[in-house]
Structure 1
Amino acid sequence: MRVSCLYPTFTSMLWVTCAVIRNSQHQILAVQRSEKMRMPLKWEFPGGKVEAGETEEEALIREIQEELGLNIQVEKRMQPVHHDYGDLAICLVPFWARTRAVAPILMEHTAYRWMPPELLPDLDWAAADIPIVRQIQEAKAWLF
Protein backbone atom coordinates (compact mmCIF):
# COMPACT_ATOMS: atom_id res chain seq x y z
CA MET A 1 0.00 0.00 0.00
CA ARG A 2 1.48 3.35 -1.01
CA VAL A 3 0.31 5.95 1.46
CA SER A 4 1.77 8.59 3.76
CA CYS A 5 4.12 10.17 1.23
CA LEU A 6 3.17 13.39 -0.46
CA TYR A 7 3.79 13.42 -4.18
CA PRO A 8 5.91 16.35 -5.36
CA THR A 9 4.78 18.72 -8.09
CA PHE A 10 7.37 17.33 -10.50
CA THR A 11 7.73 13.80 -11.84
CA SER A 12 11.14 12.65 -10.58
CA MET A 13 9.81 10.87 -7.50
CA LEU A 14 11.43 7.61 -6.55
CA TRP A 15 9.66 5.00 -4.41
CA VAL A 16 12.27 3.26 -2.24
CA THR A 17 12.29 0.87 0.69
CA CYS A 18 14.92 0.39 3.36
CA ALA A 19 15.48 -2.07 6.16
CA VAL A 20 16.24 -1.34 9.78
CA ILE A 21 17.92 -4.72 10.25
CA ARG A 22 18.45 -6.01 13.78
CA ASN A 23 20.71 -8.87 14.75
CA SER A 24 20.42 -11.19 17.76
CA GLN A 25 22.32 -8.67 19.94
CA HIS A 26 19.70 -5.99 19.09
CA GLN A 27 22.24 -4.03 17.09
CA ILE A 28 21.16 -2.23 13.93
CA LEU A 29 22.93 -2.39 10.58
CA ALA A 30 24.13 0.85 9.00
CA VAL A 31 25.90 0.89 5.63
CA GLN A 32 28.12 3.59 4.15
CA ARG A 33 27.59 4.68 0.56
CA SER A 34 30.62 4.36 -1.73
CA GLU A 35 32.51 7.34 -3.13
CA LYS A 36 30.95 6.66 -6.56
CA MET A 37 27.35 6.75 -5.33
CA ARG A 38 25.12 9.78 -5.05
CA MET A 39 25.71 11.30 -1.57
CA PRO A 40 29.17 9.70 -1.27
CA LEU A 41 30.23 8.30 2.11
CA LYS A 42 26.92 9.10 3.80
CA TRP A 43 25.46 6.38 6.01
CA GLU A 44 22.07 4.85 5.25
CA PHE A 45 19.77 1.97 5.99
CA PRO A 46 20.12 -0.55 3.13
CA GLY A 47 17.42 -0.98 0.55
CA GLY A 48 16.46 0.22 -2.88
CA LYS A 49 13.93 1.06 -5.53
CA VAL A 50 10.56 -0.66 -5.79
CA GLU A 51 10.27 -2.08 -9.31
CA ALA A 52 7.03 -2.39 -11.28
CA GLY A 53 4.96 -5.34 -10.09
CA GLU A 54 6.77 -5.69 -6.75
CA THR A 55 5.37 -5.13 -3.29
CA GLU A 56 7.44 -3.01 -0.93
CA GLU A 57 8.41 -6.14 1.02
CA GLU A 58 9.43 -8.05 -2.14
CA ALA A 59 11.57 -5.13 -3.30
CA LEU A 60 13.26 -4.89 0.08
CA ILE A 61 14.08 -8.59 0.30
CA ARG A 62 15.46 -8.54 -3.26
CA GLU A 63 17.56 -5.41 -2.72
CA ILE A 64 19.08 -6.64 0.56
CA GLN A 65 19.98 -9.96 -1.07
CA GLU A 66 21.52 -8.23 -4.12
CA GLU A 67 23.42 -5.52 -2.23
CA LEU A 68 24.46 -7.35 0.95
CA GLY A 69 23.91 -11.07 0.37
CA LEU A 70 21.68 -11.19 3.46
CA ASN A 71 18.47 -13.05 4.00
CA ILE A 72 16.12 -10.97 6.11
CA GLN A 73 12.77 -11.44 7.77
CA VAL A 74 10.64 -8.34 7.23
CA GLU A 75 8.64 -7.60 10.37
CA LYS A 76 6.84 -4.28 10.54
CA ARG A 77 6.37 -1.24 8.30
CA MET A 78 7.52 2.05 9.81
CA GLN A 79 6.41 5.59 9.01
CA PRO A 80 7.44 6.55 5.43
CA VAL A 81 9.65 9.56 4.86
CA HIS A 82 9.27 12.01 1.99
CA HIS A 83 12.47 13.86 1.20
CA ASP A 84 13.24 16.32 -1.59
CA TYR A 85 16.92 16.42 -2.56
CA GLY A 86 16.25 19.25 -5.02
CA ASP A 87 16.76 17.32 -8.26
CA LEU A 88 15.12 14.16 -6.89
CA ALA A 89 12.32 13.50 -4.44
CA ILE A 90 11.94 10.14 -2.75
CA CYS A 91 9.38 8.37 -0.68
CA LEU A 92 11.44 6.15 1.61
CA VAL A 93 9.46 3.33 3.22
CA PRO A 94 11.35 1.75 6.12
CA PHE A 95 10.69 -1.67 7.63
CA TRP A 96 11.90 -3.34 10.78
CA ALA A 97 13.68 -6.55 9.80
CA ARG A 98 15.79 -9.29 11.38
CA THR A 99 18.71 -11.39 10.24
CA ARG A 100 20.82 -14.15 11.72
CA ALA A 101 23.77 -13.27 9.50
CA VAL A 102 26.82 -11.69 11.06
CA ALA A 103 28.66 -10.10 8.14
CA PRO A 104 27.06 -8.67 5.02
CA ILE A 105 28.88 -8.94 1.71
CA LEU A 106 29.30 -5.37 0.45
CA MET A 107 28.46 -5.24 -3.27
CA GLU A 108 27.88 -1.46 -3.54
CA HIS A 109 28.74 0.06 -0.17
CA THR A 110 32.12 0.95 1.34
CA ALA A 111 31.57 -0.09 4.96
CA TYR A 112 29.03 -1.40 7.43
CA ARG A 113 28.54 -1.21 11.18
CA TRP A 114 26.36 -3.10 13.62
CA MET A 115 25.46 -0.47 16.19
CA PRO A 116 23.39 -0.14 19.34
CA PRO A 117 20.39 2.11 18.64
CA GLU A 118 21.59 4.86 20.98
CA LEU A 119 24.77 5.38 18.91
CA LEU A 120 23.05 5.71 15.53
CA PRO A 121 22.84 9.55 15.72
CA ASP A 122 26.67 9.68 15.77
CA LEU A 123 26.92 8.76 12.06
CA ASP A 124 26.79 11.17 9.11
CA TRP A 125 23.45 10.03 7.66
CA ALA A 126 21.90 10.71 4.25
CA ALA A 127 19.20 13.31 4.84
CA ALA A 128 16.25 11.00 4.12
CA ASP A 129 17.50 8.48 6.72
CA ILE A 130 17.67 10.97 9.61
CA PRO A 131 13.91 10.78 10.38
CA ILE A 132 14.25 6.99 10.48
CA VAL A 133 17.02 7.28 13.07
CA ARG A 134 14.57 9.38 15.12
CA GLN A 135 11.84 6.74 14.72
CA ILE A 136 14.26 4.10 16.01
CA GLN A 137 15.11 6.25 19.03
CA GLU A 138 11.40 6.73 19.80
CA ALA A 139 10.60 3.02 19.34
CA LYS A 140 13.50 1.72 21.41
CA ALA A 141 11.21 -0.12 23.82
CA TRP A 142 9.80 -2.11 20.89
CA LEU A 143 13.31 -3.36 20.01
CA PHE A 144 13.77 -5.42 23.17
Structure 2
Amino acid sequence: MIDVCCAIIVREDGCVLVAQRAADQLLPLKIEFPGGKIEAGERAEDCLVREIKEELNLDICIHKRMEAHRHRYPDFSIHLIPFVCTITGGEIQMNVHQNCNWLKPEELPEQDWAEADVPLMMNYLKSLK
Protein backbone atom coordinates (compact mmCIF):
# COMPACT_ATOMS: atom_id res chain seq x y z
CA MET A 1 0.00 0.00 0.00
CA ILE A 2 1.44 3.35 -1.08
CA ASP A 3 0.47 6.35 1.08
CA VAL A 4 -0.13 9.40 -1.10
CA CYS A 5 -1.52 12.85 -0.34
CA CYS A 6 -3.20 15.11 -2.86
CA ALA A 7 -4.38 18.71 -3.05
CA ILE A 8 -7.82 19.85 -4.04
CA ILE A 9 -6.65 23.39 -4.78
CA VAL A 10 -9.55 25.84 -4.90
CA ARG A 11 -9.49 29.37 -6.28
CA GLU A 12 -11.58 32.27 -4.94
CA ASP A 13 -14.10 31.78 -7.77
CA GLY A 14 -14.60 28.13 -6.75
CA CYS A 15 -12.64 26.62 -9.63
CA VAL A 16 -10.46 23.61 -8.83
CA LEU A 17 -6.97 22.90 -10.19
CA VAL A 18 -6.66 19.51 -11.89
CA ALA A 19 -3.50 18.06 -13.41
CA GLN A 20 -3.00 15.71 -16.34
CA ARG A 21 -0.37 13.00 -15.87
CA ALA A 22 2.39 12.87 -18.46
CA ALA A 23 2.22 10.27 -21.23
CA ASP A 24 5.31 8.45 -19.90
CA GLN A 25 3.99 8.06 -16.32
CA LEU A 26 1.88 5.36 -14.73
CA LEU A 27 -1.76 6.05 -15.58
CA PRO A 28 -0.73 8.08 -18.66
CA LEU A 29 -2.75 11.21 -19.46
CA LYS A 30 -5.25 10.62 -16.64
CA ILE A 31 -6.55 13.60 -14.67
CA GLU A 32 -5.66 13.75 -10.98
CA PHE A 33 -5.45 16.02 -7.99
CA PRO A 34 -1.72 16.83 -7.73
CA GLY A 35 0.32 15.42 -4.87
CA GLY A 36 2.73 12.62 -4.15
CA LYS A 37 4.08 9.83 -1.99
CA ILE A 38 4.52 10.36 1.71
CA GLU A 39 8.11 9.66 2.77
CA ALA A 40 8.96 7.63 5.88
CA GLY A 41 8.41 9.72 9.01
CA GLU A 42 6.78 12.56 7.06
CA ARG A 43 3.41 14.05 8.01
CA ALA A 44 0.85 14.03 5.18
CA GLU A 45 0.49 17.82 5.42
CA ASP A 46 4.25 18.38 5.14
CA CYS A 47 4.42 15.98 2.21
CA LEU A 48 1.67 17.85 0.39
CA VAL A 49 3.32 21.25 0.81
CA ARG A 50 6.62 19.76 -0.45
CA GLU A 51 5.07 17.90 -3.39
CA ILE A 52 3.02 20.85 -4.65
CA LYS A 53 6.11 23.05 -4.51
CA GLU A 54 8.15 20.44 -6.41
CA GLU A 55 5.48 19.59 -8.99
CA LEU A 56 3.82 22.96 -9.60
CA ASN A 57 6.06 25.61 -7.97
CA LEU A 58 3.14 26.69 -5.79
CA ASP A 59 2.93 27.54 -2.09
CA ILE A 60 -0.30 26.35 -0.53
CA CYS A 61 -2.35 26.75 2.62
CA ILE A 62 -4.11 23.58 3.78
CA HIS A 63 -7.64 24.25 5.02
CA LYS A 64 -9.04 20.81 5.75
CA ARG A 65 -8.44 17.12 5.38
CA MET A 66 -11.09 15.18 3.49
CA GLU A 67 -11.96 11.49 3.76
CA ALA A 68 -9.15 9.22 2.54
CA HIS A 69 -9.69 6.45 0.00
CA ARG A 70 -7.97 3.13 -0.64
CA HIS A 71 -7.83 1.87 -4.21
CA ARG A 72 -6.35 -1.26 -5.77
CA TYR A 73 -4.93 -0.97 -9.27
CA PRO A 74 -3.81 -4.19 -11.03
CA ASP A 75 -0.14 -3.69 -10.05
CA PHE A 76 -0.30 -1.65 -6.83
CA SER A 77 -2.56 -0.30 -4.11
CA ILE A 78 -2.84 3.31 -3.00
CA HIS A 79 -4.08 5.06 0.15
CA LEU A 80 -4.96 8.53 -1.07
CA ILE A 81 -5.35 11.36 1.48
CA PRO A 82 -6.93 14.56 0.10
CA PHE A 83 -6.71 18.08 1.48
CA VAL A 84 -8.61 21.18 0.41
CA CYS A 85 -6.09 23.98 -0.16
CA THR A 86 -5.61 27.45 -1.57
CA ILE A 87 -2.59 29.00 -3.24
CA THR A 88 -0.60 31.50 -1.18
CA GLY A 89 2.25 32.12 -3.61
CA GLY A 90 4.18 31.07 -6.69
CA GLU A 91 3.28 30.75 -10.36
CA ILE A 92 2.18 27.47 -11.90
CA GLN A 93 5.12 25.68 -13.46
CA MET A 94 4.53 22.13 -14.62
CA ASN A 95 7.53 20.06 -13.59
CA VAL A 96 5.82 16.65 -13.67
CA HIS A 97 2.42 16.97 -15.36
CA GLN A 98 1.63 17.37 -19.02
CA ASN A 99 -1.10 19.94 -18.43
CA CYS A 100 -3.22 21.54 -15.74
CA ASN A 101 -6.52 23.40 -15.80
CA TRP A 102 -8.85 25.32 -13.54
CA LEU A 103 -12.31 23.75 -13.74
CA LYS A 104 -15.69 24.68 -12.35
CA PRO A 105 -16.98 22.05 -9.90
CA GLU A 106 -19.68 20.94 -12.36
CA GLU A 107 -16.97 20.20 -14.96
CA LEU A 108 -15.06 17.81 -12.69
CA PRO A 109 -17.15 14.65 -13.34
CA GLU A 110 -16.61 15.02 -17.10
CA GLN A 111 -12.84 14.46 -16.89
CA ASP A 112 -10.88 11.24 -17.57
CA TRP A 113 -9.81 10.71 -13.95
CA ALA A 114 -7.31 8.30 -12.48
CA GLU A 115 -9.60 5.74 -10.81
CA ALA A 116 -8.36 6.40 -7.27
CA ASP A 117 -9.23 10.10 -7.56
CA VAL A 118 -12.87 9.58 -8.57
CA PRO A 119 -14.25 8.99 -5.03
CA LEU A 120 -12.27 12.00 -3.77
CA MET A 121 -13.73 14.21 -6.48
CA MET A 122 -17.25 12.96 -5.74
CA ASN A 123 -16.79 13.53 -1.98
CA TYR A 124 -15.54 17.04 -2.66
CA LEU A 125 -18.60 17.82 -4.79
CA LYS A 126 -20.89 16.46 -2.05
CA SER A 127 -19.15 18.71 0.47
CA LEU A 128 -20.15 21.78 -1.57
CA LYS A 129 -23.89 21.09 -1.15
- In the superposition, the TM-score normalised over structure 1's length comes to 0.86
Deviates more, 1:69-78 or 1:97-106: 97-106
| Aligned partner of residue 72 in structure 1, secondary structure | strand
Alignment of 1:107 onto 2:95: yes
Gaps of 5+ in 1: 1-12
Q: After TM superposition, which residue ranges in structure 1, 4 or more long, deviate above 3 angstroms?
A: 100-103
Matches of 1:105 and 1:54 in 2, distance apart? 24
1:17 is aligned to 5
The structure whose Rg is larger is 1
Alignment of 1:93 onto 2:81: yes
How far the C-alpha of 1:53 sits from its partner, in A, is: 1.7
Matches of 1:55 and 1:100 in 2, distance apart? 20
Change in CA separation of 1:69 and 1:129 when aligned onto 2, cut-off 3 Å: same
Alignment of 1:121 onto 2:109: yes
How far the C-alpha of 1:23 sits from its partner, in A, is: 1.2
Gaps of 5+ in 2: none
The answer (yes or no) to whether the contact 1:24–1:100 under 8 Å persists in 2 is no
1:83 is aligned to 71
Given residue 77 of structure 2, which amino acid in structure 1 is its aligned partner? Answer: A
How far the C-alpha of 1:103 sits from its partner, in A, is: 4.8
- In the superposition, the TM-score normalised over structure 2's length comes to 0.96
2:30 is aligned to 42
Given residue 56 of structure 2, which amino acid in structure 1 is its aligned partner? Answer: L
| Superposed CA offset, 1:76-126 (max 9, x none) | 110001000021001000001111458510001011010111110111000
The answer (yes or no) to whether the contact 2:68–2:81 under 8 Å persists in 1 is yes
Let me know the Cα RMSD of the aligned residues.
1.2
Matches of 1:108 and 1:118 in 2, distance apart? 26
Identity %: 41
The answer (yes or no) to whether the contact 2:59–2:90 under 8 Å persists in 1 is no
2:16 is aligned to 28
| Aligned partner of residue 48 in structure 2, secondary structure | helix
Q: Which has the higher strand share?
A: 2
The answer (yes or no) to whether the contact 2:69–2:80 under 8 Å persists in 1 is yes
Matches of 1:107 and 1:48 in 2, distance apart? 13
Matches of 1:130 and 1:140 in 2, distance apart? 16
Matches of 1:42 and 1:62 in 2, distance apart? 22
